[in-house]
């Protein structure tokens, strides 16, 4: 079990130097979904220069005013302050629709979009999804000013692939950085606490202000939306570990946000942890595979089905956990070996679907039936 200190990538403009099944059918934005054309002329060029020339006009600067809580001190009470937040976004069609991160525009007022030619337009928030940290905003501008980018198939992304990030770190508009895909299939935490599965890890430098900008392959296609960085707990900037929401998630969520303003996700309501060798050395009766239930949300589908979390505290290799609860061995007929695999099974379902869970409780096997709910927004 590991713990990471993850930070979102929006930045304060005032102090820029500081800084789920999914309901609905996926569409291929790169082939005209959402009414779009592609400005992607770098399909086979491969060079960083060609990718930048092709794609930079499709990357926008997004600013919004958000209300943030200011903790109280010994001398002052808690208060709120208005903060101007800066992020990035990508144009996806000729209707003026732009994809960014939910945390860039969440509860934001006065959202504006800046284009590469220097024009700035007010934007309307069409929809947000806290479960994937995605949002769609729309601007009214001549189609000639819009340069839609293409979405690639993120399931084909492999470790070692060359990637580029374009965004607005610290307000430096349309900065390009390069790197490789460092890992695939990562789970990262969404703003509402749920897991965003199949995230792409990269060492391309991304910093505050890159939120919502594209992670591109060497053809200039979008493979992900830059979302979070690992700070390491020591610095507040890039340390070579960044994460992007995969483009296949984008292509599924975006049409829902455009059509209805929100997206639906199946929800189990359970927190689980990997069973590693260290845990096996100190805890008996653990099954050959599975994930340990360490938390069950009150009133959730998991709670109604009778799933039990551990209650006995234990520390292994400096990491604390609760043991003595259920171990989920399989879900919907699929063997489970990691939290990511359980997330994938749940994310493949629709809210209201019923699945079976094979669990081990104190060495005893049992099967539970769970009717999945709708993830909280």
221 and 351 part of one domain: no
Query: Alpha-carbon dihedral of residues 88, 6, 132, 149, nearest 10 degrees?
Result: 30
Residue 231 lies inside a defined structural domain of this protein: yes
User: What is the number of domains present in the chain?
Assistant: 2
On whether both 343 and 274 belong to a single domain, the answer is yes
Residues 128, 242, single domain; the answer is yes
| Whether residues 181 and 321 fall in one domain | no
Q: Is residue 206 part of a domain?
A: yes
Task: Give the residue from 240, 260, 280 where a domain finishes.
Answer: 260
> Tens of pLDDT along the chain (377 residues)?
233 334 555 554 432 222 144 444 444 444 333 344 444 544 455 799 999 999 999 999 999 988 888 888 888 888 888 888 899 999 999 999 999 999 999 887 899 999 988 899 999 999 999 999 999 999 999 998 999 999 999 999 999 999 999 999 998 999 999 999 999 999 898 998 888 989 999 999 999 999 999 999 999 999 999 999 987 666 667 888 999 999 999 999 999 999 999 999 999 999 998 888 888 887 877 888 999 998 999 999 999 999 999 887 777 776 666 778 899 999 999 999 998 899 889 988 999 999 999 999 888 899 999 999 998 87
Q: How far apart are CA 249 and CA 194, in angstroms?
A: 14
Structural domain includes residue 121: yes
Dist. CA 190–CA 183, nearest whole Å: 18
Residues 213 and 329 occupy one common structural domain: no
What CATH number does residue 254 fall under?
A: 2.40.10.120
C-alpha torsion 41→45→48→52, nearest 10 = -10
82/73 Cα distance (integer angstroms):
19
Answer yes or no: do 230 and 339 share one domain: no
In a domain, 271, yes or no: yes
Work out whether strand 266-267 and strand 242-246 pair parallel, antiparallel, or are unpaired. unpaired
Q: Which residues are catalytic?
A: 103, 133, 211
For residue 225, give its domain range.
Answer: 6-260
Is there a domain that residue 1 lies in? no
Task: Check whether residue 222 and residue 329 sit in a common domain.
Answer: no
> Which of these three, 196, 228, 260, is where a domain ends?
260
Q: 11-12 and 79-91 as β-strands: parallel, antiparallel, unpaired?
A: antiparallel
Alpha-carbon torsion (240, 158, 42, 257), positive or negative = negative
* Alpha helices, DSSP H, located in 153-246: none
Among candidate residues 260, 287, 322, the one where a domain is terminated: 260
Give the CATH number of the domain where residue 308 resides.
Answer: 2.30.42.10
Classify residue 277 as exposed, middle or buried by CB count within 10 Å of its CB (0-12, 13-18, 19+). exposed
Q: What is the pTM of this model?
A: 0.79
> Tokens 């490789």 — which residue?
180
């Amino acid at each position: 079990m590991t713990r990471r200190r993850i930070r979102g990538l929006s930045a304060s403009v005032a102090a820029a130097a500081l800084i789920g099944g999914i309901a609905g059918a996926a569409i291929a934005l790169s082939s005209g979904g959402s009414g779009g054309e592609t400005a992607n002329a770098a399909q086979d060029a491969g060079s960083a220069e060609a990718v930048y020339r092709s794609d930079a006009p499709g990357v926008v600067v997004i600013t919004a005013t958000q209300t943030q809580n200011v903790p109280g001190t010994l001398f002052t009470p808690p208060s709120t302050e208005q903060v101007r937040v800066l992020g990035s976004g990508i144009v996806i069609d000729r209707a003026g629709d732009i994809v960014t991160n939910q945390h860039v525009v969440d509860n934001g007022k006065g959202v504006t979009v800046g284009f590469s030619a220097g024009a700035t337009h007010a934007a309307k928030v069409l929809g947000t999804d806290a479960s994937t940290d995605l949002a769609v905003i729309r601007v009214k501008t001549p189609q000639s000013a819009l340069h839609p980018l293409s979405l690639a198939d993120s399931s084909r992304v492999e470790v070692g692939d060359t990637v580029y990030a374009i965004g607005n770190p610290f307000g430096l508009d349309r900065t390009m950085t390069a790197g490789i895909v460092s890992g695939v299939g990562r789970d990262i935490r969404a703003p509402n606490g749920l897991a965003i599965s199949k995230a792409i890890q990269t060492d391309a430098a991304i910093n505050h202000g890159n939120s919502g900008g594209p992670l591109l392959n060497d053809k200039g296609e979008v493979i992900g939306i830059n979302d979070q960085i690992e700070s390491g707990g020591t610095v507040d900037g890039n340390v070579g570990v960044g994460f992007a929401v995969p483009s296949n998630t984008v292509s599924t969520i975006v049409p829902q946000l455009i059509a209805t303003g929100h997206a639906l996700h199946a929800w189990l309501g359970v927190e689980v942890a990997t069973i590693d060798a260290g845990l096996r050395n100190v805890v008996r009766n653990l099954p050959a595979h599975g994930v340990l239930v360490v938390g069950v949300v009150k009133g959730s589908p998991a709670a109604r089905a009778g799933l039990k979390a551990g209650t006995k505290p234990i520390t292994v290799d400096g990491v604390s956990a609760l043991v003595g609860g259920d171990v989920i061995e399989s879900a919907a007929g699929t063997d489970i070996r990691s939290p990511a695999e359980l997330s994938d099974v749940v994310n493949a379902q629709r809210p209201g679907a019923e699945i079976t869970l094979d669990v081990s409780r104190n060495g005893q096997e049992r099967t539970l039936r769970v009717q999945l709910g709708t993830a909280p927004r």
